[in-house]
Structure formats: C-alpha cells, structure tokens
Homo-oligomer: A and B are copies of this chain.
C-alpha cells in the first residue's frame, strides 16, 4: 500500500465516499479546492494525496474527473475484495453489530458469531455458535477477520485463541490492550478514550 498511515488511509476512504456520492449526483469534474472542502481537508493536501495514487490525475485549469479518481482510488484500495468476518462476543454490543448492515456494502460479510452460550438473534440469519466450535469453524472457512466484542476480562485469551486459529486481522472493541505477533494487525476502538479526548479539547 502506497500510504500506510491511518490518517491518510481514512482520508482516502473519505474521498471515496464523497466521490461516489458526487458521481451519483451526476457531477463529472471537480477541483481540488471543492473536493477538499467537502472532505474537510486542505486543497494542497488533497492534491498531494492524489499524486500518490497511480493513475489519478487532473487537468490543469479544469479539475479532476470524478470517475477517474473514483476508479483509481478503488483500485489502489483493492475495493473489489470480499472478506468473511466472525464476531466473537454477543453481548449487547455484539448483538448490535450483528444487526448492523453497514459492513456488507464494503465487502465484509459477518458469517458467524460466537459466544459462551449459543443463541439466536432475532431478525438475523447469522448463527451464534458456542466457543467450542470456534477452532473448527475458523480453520474450515479460513477466516482472517474477527471482531472482538467480549468482556474486557476475556479479551486477551480470546484474542490469543483467534490468532492461534488463523485470524490475522482483529477489530478490538474491548478496552484491553492486546499484544500480538507482527503478522497480526489490530485496530482498537475505545469509545471511552474518545470521550475522554473530547473532554480535554480546549
């Protein structure tokens, strides 16, 4: 990947979202200044970002073609991929994620959930299995992505299991700090930290 910082990656995702909206609205050309202001970034930063993308370029005195930008960013981000994801921990958070349909449009399919107690989530066809079947399921389906939504106290153990069974991408929704091998990538989402950060802004 061309740029590997999280901020840059998130900017590309924002560009992508805004560009596809513009495309749907029939906008075919846009200047760096306009697109930047829609995306809440500076115009020169946007141009620098675009320069890193193979195939993305604009026309001087005209602007960027929305469709060209869209497809070159999509290509760079491998937006064609489709990944199967398991969810571990079906508390209120986990159950909310099962009902959340936002992942599918981005090529992430939650194929199963796991909890101490198998159960059934209403309005959902995603099965909830017991933890005993975790190993066989992960290995049989060669799952690489997992969302960790267990209680904090269980987080480390469950994460270790997941990794042992072949998971290499972990979205960690628990406050626990995970230590993982270099081959495994973790994204931590900690709502309490976000709130604390808001608290001391200015």
Which A residues are closer than 8 A to B by beta carbons?
1, 4, 6, 9-10, 13-14, 17-18, 38-40, 77-78, 81, 83, 85, 91-93, 95-97, 99-100, 102-103, 106, 108, 145, 169-171, 175, 177, 179, 185, 187, 189-202
Contact = CB atoms under 8 A, between A and B. Distances in A.
A103 B14 contact: no
A200 B169 contact: no
A185 B201 contact: yes
Contact of A187 (B108, B175, B198): B198
A163 to B, nearest CB: 14
A107 B99 CA distance: 29
Given A18-B177, A92-B95, A185-B202, A171 B194 contact: yes
A177 B16 CA distance: 13
Identical copies in the complex:
2
B199 A78 contact: yes
A25 to B, nearest CB: 15
Give the residue among A85, A179, A198 with the most B Cβ atoms within 10 A.
Answer: A198
Contacts of A179: 40
Given A106-B192, A171-B191, A197 B10 contact: yes
A176 B59 CA distance: 29
Contact of A92 (B100, B195, B200): B100
Contacts of A13: 190, 193, 196-197
Nearest to A195: B108
A14 to B, nearest CB: 7
Given A10-B190, A13-B190, A171-B195, 15 more contacts: A6-B197, A13-B197, A38-B177, A40-B177, A78-B200, A92-B95, A92-B96, A96-B96, A100-B191, A108-B192, A145-B195, A169-B201, A171-B194, A171-B198, A189-B189
Nearest to A106: B192
